[in-house]
Amino acid sequence: MNKLLQYGRELLKLELQEAKKLPDRLGKDFVEACQLILSNKGKVVVSGIGKSGHIGKKIAASLASTGSPAFFMHPSEALHGDLGMITKNDVAILISYSGRAKEFNFILPILSAMNVPVIAITGGLDSPLAKSARAVLDISIEQEACPMGLAPTSSSTNTLLMGDALAIAVMRARGFKEEDFARSHPAGSLGAKLLNHVKDVMRQGDLVPKIPHTATVFDAMLELSRTGVGLVAICQDNNKIAGVFTDGDLRRLLLKNGTLQDSISSVMTSPGFQIPESWKAVEALKSFNDHNITAAPVVNSAGELVGALNIHDLHQAGIS
């Protein structure tokens, strides 16, 4: 076991040692690469083979999710039709540690003829790839962490880090915000928080607990039991809310010797807390926490009852 810990620690130290050299290598070529992506009117096409290809897929995904439309193109498939996916408005990021991947020997002349600028991520600074590129990002290393110097380790880590630096620098230059990130991650927790509005998660139609202002406490109890929201909205004839009555109000009323025949108008809370349907769902959750409540009726811009929302609805929508 001690040997295993030693091997693991040795690898991490070697990779970190190589990675520490990257910040000082960023200069005009890095700026040029960022500007090519920022001014790009098409997509960013990322390509690499072997381990470079695996890292390239991650770089393309990072760019796409941070505001720079991108996709990965396998070099072999590119030579058998996928080059047709590239247009003159695109930018290409080609990844090869040696800079001598044979597939790129066929791809580079075509990109040049189309005037598609190339960003090279490579350790071969005198390679054909580097010489053909508009910007060269240097990921060269002195030593792979693999003891035989065969398996890409330090070099693939440097590639990943350089790709992250490129994607995040461009993202920040764009002024990319949380809301923008959420649009490309709508199924994630961030998307749920930032994209969903109250009207998207509220209960509607027959699921909304509602009784007229002429009703009794008994009517309110039936509606509370039917819907399970935790409150009932008491409405005037024009569907505007006169007040609210909760499960807790019912318990407190009965403990004070109130009766089920009492008029709901005499015991309701008026006008009661209401949530606009235009609010973001995360705003509704904050209001629930601030007011120490778990449910509220939802109103439109005219103040009319259009729905109901409780904290369980928010949690089920992934908002917490």
Q: Quick one: 203 and 65 in the same domain?
A: no
Q: Cα–Cα distances in Å, from 95 out to 58, 155, 262, 269? A: 12, 11, 77, 66
Annotated binding-site residue numbers for Zn(2+): 74
**268 has a pLDDT exceeding 70:** yes
Q: Quick one: 118 and 215 in the same domain?
A: no
Residue 181 maps to a domain: no
Among 125, 146, 176, residue at a domain's last position: 176
pLDDT at 177: 73
How far is the C-alpha of 294 from the C-alpha of 231, rounded, in Å? 9
Q: Quick one: 29 and 165 in the same domain?
A: yes
**315 has a pLDDT exceeding 90:** no
pLDDT at 145: 86
pLDDT at 282: 85
pLDDT at 213: 92
Tokens 């990109």 found at: 111
Q: Please, is 46 exposed, middle or buried when counting C-beta atoms within 10 Å of its C-beta (0-12, 13-18, 19+)? A: buried
Residue 184 maps to a domain: no
Average pLDDT score over the chain: 90
What pLDDT digit, counting tens, does each position of 171-210 carry?
999 887 766 565 665 555 555 566 688 998 899 999 999 9
Residue 38 maps to a domain: yes
CA nearest neighbour of 92 among 52, 138, 33: 33
pLDDT at 187: 52
Region 206-223: mean pLDDT is 93
Residue 185 maps to a domain: no
Among 146, 176, 206, residue at a domain's last position: 176
What pLDDT digit, counting tens, does each position of 3-29 carry?
999 999 999 999 999 999 999 999 999
Q: Quick one: 162 and 203 in the same domain?
A: no
Q: Quick one: 54 and 160 in the same domain?
A: yes
Q: How many CB atoms lie within 10 A of CB 68?
A: 21
pLDDT at 216: 94
pLDDT at 100: 95
Residue 304 maps to a domain: yes
Q: Please, is 165 exposed, middle or buried when counting C-beta atoms within 10 Å of its C-beta (0-12, 13-18, 19+)? A: middle
Among 176, 207, 230, residue at a domain's last position: 176
Residue 259 maps to a domain: yes
Q: Quick one: 131 and 206 in the same domain?
A: no
Q: Quick one: 26 and 137 in the same domain?
A: yes
Q: Quick one: 233 and 203 in the same domain?
A: yes
Annotated binding-site residue numbers: 74
How far is the C-alpha of 173 from the C-alpha of 37, rounded, in Å? 11
Whether the bond between 271 and the residue before it is cis, its omega within 30 degrees of 0, is yes
pLDDT at 264: 93
Pairwise pLDDT comparison (33 vs 191), residue with the higher score: 33
Pairwise pLDDT comparison (178 vs 247), residue with the higher score: 247
Domain count for the chain: 2
Region 104-128: mean pLDDT is 96
pLDDT at 194: 65
How far is the C-alpha of 264 from the C-alpha of 304, rounded, in Å? 19
Tokens coding 99: 């800079």
In 3-state terms the chain splits into helix, strand, coil percentages (rounded to 5) of: 50, 20, 35
Q: Cα–Cα distances in Å, from 162 out to 53, 67, 158? A: 14, 17, 6
pLDDT at 138: 97
Region 94-109: mean pLDDT is 95
CATH number (domain holding residue 25)? 3.40.50.10490
Helix (H) / strand (E) element for 288: namely: helix 281-291
3 state DSSP class of 106: helix
Provide the domain limits for residue 308: 198-316
Q: Quick one: 165 and 236 in the same domain?
A: no
Residue 268 maps to a domain: yes
Q: Quick one: 205 and 301 in the same domain?
A: yes
What pLDDT digit, counting tens, does each position of 82-93 carry?
899 999 999 999
Q: Quick one: 171 and 213 in the same domain?
A: no
Which of 125-129, 233-237, 278-282, 296-300 is least confident?
A: 278-282
Region 146-170: mean pLDDT is 90
Q: What percent of the chain has a predicted confidence (pLDDT) above 90?
A: 71
Q: Quick one: 159 and 290 in the same domain?
A: no
CATH number (domain holding residue 312)? 3.10.580.10
pLDDT at 214: 93
Residue 249 maps to a domain: yes
Report the DSSP beta bridge partners of residue 157. Answer: none
